[in-house]
Structure 1
Amino acid sequence: MRTRQSLVRAAAEVFAQSGFTTAALASISERAGVSAGALHFHFANKQELARAVEDEAAAAVRSVVERVSAAGPNPLQRLVDATHALMGRPGRDVVVRAGFELGSGLPRRDGAMGLHRVWRDWVEEVLGEAEREGVLAEGVSAADASAAVVAATVGFELLGSDDRTRTSATALTGFWELLLPRLAAAEGLGRLVSCGTPDVVPGDA
C-alpha cells in the first residue's frame, strides 16, 4: 500500500509538472524511488495510474465538500465556503492539482467520474437546495446558477495552474462580491460572507 501511495503521489507531481501526454513512467518510478517492475505490479499503464490520481483527488474533494456541508444550513454560504476551500487546495496539494489538470482528458471507465464532474454534481446539488429553500434571487434558476459557478471556478483553477494568485482568497472574495448580489435573494444577502466562514475555510484556503 505504501508503494502504491508513493507512486500515486509521484505520478501527480509528474503530471502536474509535465502533463499527462509527456509524462514518462520511468520518471514516475524514479521519483517514487521504486523499480519499473514495482510500478507495473500496481499499475498496468500510465492511464491507469492517472485514473488513480484522479480517484484520490476526487476523494479529497468529496471530503472537503462534506465538511463544508456539515458546517451550516445556508446552501449559498456553503457554496462560497467550498470554493474558498477547494481553490486554495490545488496550490498546496499536488494530488488535487493534478486531478483538476487531468480534467476530462482521460477516457472515462464505466461509472467513473473525473474531478470536474464531482465538483459540478455538488454545485448542482447545493444550488438545487438553495432554489427549493427560496434563497436564490427572483428569476435565477439553479440550473443557470450552477452553469455559471462551475464555469467560473473551473476557469479559476485553469488560470491558477500558472498563477496561483488567480485562486487566492482575495480573488475569490472579489468574485463572490460581484456574483452574490445577483445570485442571492435580497433578504438573505447581508448574512452571506463573501470571504468565507472563518471557522470553515482556514484549514484549506
Structure 2
Amino acid sequence: MAKQERAVRTRDTLIRSAAEIFDREGFAVASLTAISKLAGVSNGALHHHFTSKAVLTDAVEEAALARLLAVTEAGLPLGASRMQLLVDVTHRLATALRGDVVLRAGFELSGEVSRPPRADLREWWRRWVLETLEQADAEGELRPEVTASDVVSAVVAATVGFEVLGVRQAEWLSDSTITRFWRLLLPTVVPTARLADLDAEGPRPL
C-alpha cells in the first residue's frame, strides 16, 4: 500500500511539474528533463509513469478537466437562477485559473496548435456555457430578442480572453474584471424585471 501511495504521489508531482513547465516555458520547448528535475525524480522514474511527453501531456489535460468539472459542478444555489449560476461559475473559474497551475496549463494546451488536444477544455467550457444559457432561455431569463447562441459567443470569447491575458497579467482574472464584464453584459441580455435578482459580483466568501 505504501508503495502504491508513493507511486500516486510521484505521478501527481510529475503532472503538476509538467503543468508548471508548460505554463512557464510553453509546451513546445518544455523538456522531460526539465520536468523530472522540477519534480525531483530521475528521467527513468518519469518514463516509468509516462512513456512519452505526449502521454504526460494527456495526463495534464485530464487532470485539468477534472478541476474544471469541479468548478462547473458546484451546483445551483437554492432559489438562484441559471444566469446567476453562470455569473458565479465564471468568478470561480477565474479564481481557480489564478491559483491552479494544472487548470491553467490545461486551458493553454487547448490552444496549442502543434498537437490535437485530448481534452479540449476551451471547447468543453463552451458547451457548458451554451447548455446553461439554453436552460436560462427556457426559463425566461433571457430577453425575447436574445438567443443562447448570441450570448455564448460573448461569454466564451470574454472568459477565454481573460484566461489568455491572465497568463501574463493576473488583473485580467481578478474578481473586479469579471464583475465589470457582467455589469456590462447582464442589462443587454436579461429582462429588466429580473436584473435586481442578479449579482454581478458572484459568490460571496463563506
TM-score, normalised with respect to structure 2 = 0.91
The runs of at least 4 consecutive aligned structure 1 residues that moved more than 6 Å come to: none
2:102 matches 1:95: yes
Give the distance between the partners of 1:21 and 1:54, measured in 2 at CA. 15
Which deviations, in whole Å up to 9, do the C-alpha atoms of 1:70-99 show, x marking residues without a partner? 324410000000010001211111111111
Consecutive unaligned residues of structure 2, counting only runs of 5 or more, are 1-7
Give the C-alpha shift of residue 2 in structure 1.
Answer: 1.3
Which deviations, in whole Å up to 9, do the C-alpha atoms of 1:163-199 show, x marking residues without a partner? 000111111110000000011111111110000031x
The code of the aligned residue for 1:82 comes to V
The code of the aligned residue for 1:187 comes to A
Correspondence for 1:36: 43
2:73 matches 1:66: yes
2:122 to 113, 116, 126: 116
Between Structure 1 and Structure 2, whose CA radius of gyration is higher? Answer: 2
Q: Say which structure, 1 or 2, has more relative contact order (CA 8 Å, 6+ apart).
A: 1
Give the distance between the partners of 2:59 and 2:171, measured in 1 at CA. 28
Give the distance between the partners of 2:40 and 2:196, measured in 1 at CA. 53
2:83 matches 1:76: yes
Correspondence for 2:4: none
Q: Secondary structure at the match of 1:113?
A: coil
The code of the aligned residue for 1:107 comes to P
Q: Secondary structure at the match of 1:194?
A: coil
Correspondence for 1:143: 149
Give the distance between the partners of 1:150 and 1:5, measured in 2 at CA. 30
Correspondence for 1:192: 198
Correspondence for 1:26: 33
1:17 to 24, 27, 43: 24
Consecutive unaligned residues of structure 1, counting only runs of 5 or more, are none
Contact kept, 8 Å, 1:11 with 1:28, in 2: the verdict is yes
Give the distance between the partners of 1:40 and 1:115, measured in 2 at CA. 26
How do residues 148-163 of structure 1 correspond to structure 2 at under 5 angstroms? 148-163=154-169
Give the distance between the partners of 1:137 and 1:44, measured in 2 at CA. 52
Contact kept, 8 Å, 2:88 with 2:203, in 1: the verdict is yes
Q: Secondary structure at the match of 2:30?
A: coil
Give the distance between the partners of 1:52 and 1:184, measured in 2 at CA. 39
Correspondence for 1:168: 174
Give the distance between the partners of 2:202 and 2:62, measured in 1 at CA. 27
Contact kept, 8 Å, 2:94 with 2:173, in 1: the verdict is yes
Query: Identity across aligned pairs (percent)?
Result: 45
Give the C-alpha shift of residue 141 in structure 1.
Answer: 0.4
Contact kept, 8 Å, 2:23 with 2:105, in 1: the verdict is yes
Which deviations, in whole Å up to 9, do the C-alpha atoms of 1:144-170 show, x marking residues without a partner? 111211111000110111100011111
Correspondence for 2:62: 55
Give the C-alpha shift of residue 51 in structure 1.
Answer: 1.5
Which deviations, in whole Å up to 9, do the C-alpha atoms of 1:112-160 show, x marking residues without a partner? 4311122111101100101111110121101111121111100011011
TM-score, normalised with respect to structure 1 = 0.91
Correspondence for 2:137: 131
Say how many residue pairs are matched. Answer: 196
The code of the aligned residue for 2:181 comes to F
